[in-house]
Amino acid sequence: MRTVVERRGKGSGAAASGNRIVTRVDSLGELAGAHPEALRAIYGAGSPTDPADLGEQPRGRLLALELGADVFLAVRPLVRLLAGDLLPWKGKAFDHGGNGGANVVFGRRVARFRAEGVPSALDGRPTLALRYDEPAFKNPWPLRAIVDELRTVGDGVAVGPALVPFGGALRPLFWFGLERI
């Protein structure tokens, strides 16, 4: 992982110190088990993902549980274990054109989604959203309610939250990543 400090002038949206820290990620392995707030900052510095940059079937990893943020140190070993090969979810497969795709579970394409550029539910900045609510997809509830967001944070590496409706807004449930293989 590389960290770059950008110096920004007044009125540029930088923090009061005038510096903004931007982290570029070389692989998802660097982020497995990261604190949700660290992932939120890395995601915030990213740019909307273009599915073509990830390849047809990027590998996926669970990175953090948002609900475990309060007990981060206790949950971290479990998340790192699951980030390996224990989960049946292996990533996503994008259709040609990148406007949709499906999750890859046990080697099969399931849980179809449509992909679209939208403002993020977290910070309002542009992101790639993956939505499961198309009636034609016949995804079961509660999957239909989930919205995944993705931003590119390195060459062929994207991260984002899986969001669920709670209290009238979309809230992160967990953080995941995809990387080109």
CB 127 within 8 A of CB 118: yes
Q: What pLDDT was estimated at residue 96?
A: 85
Share of the chain above pLDDT 70, in %: 80
Q: Examine the pLDDT at 26 and tell me if it is beyond 60.
A: yes
pLDDT surpassing 60 at residue 9: no
| Per-residue pLDDT, 85 | 74
**Residue 69: per-residue pLDDT:** 62
Q: How many domains does the chain have?
A: 1
pTM, to two decimals: 0.84
Which pair of structure tokens corresponds to residue 140? Answer: 């079961």
Find the domain containing 166 and state its range.
Answer: 2-179
Higher pLDDT, 123 or 67: 123
> Is the confidence at residue 17, as pLDDT, over 50?
no
- What is the residue-wise DSSP string for the chain? -EEEEEE--TTSS--TTSEEEEEE-S-GGGTTT--HHHHHHHHHTSEE--GGGT-SS-EEEEEEEGGGGGGHHHHHHHHHHIIIIISSEEEEEEPTTSSEEEEEETTEEEEEEEEEEEE-TTTSSEEEEEE---GGG-PPTTGGG-EEEEEEEETTEEEEEEEEEETTEEEEEEEEEEE--
Per the model's pLDDT, the better-predicted residue between 177 and 83 turns out to be 177
Residue range 55-84, pLDDT digits in tens: 989 999 989 888 766 676 667 666 676 667
pLDDT confidence of 14, banded at 50, 70, 90?
very low
pLDDT of residue 72: 67
pLDDT at 21 over 60: no
The mean pLDDT of 117-133, rounded to a whole number, is 98
What is the reported pLDDT for 66? 85
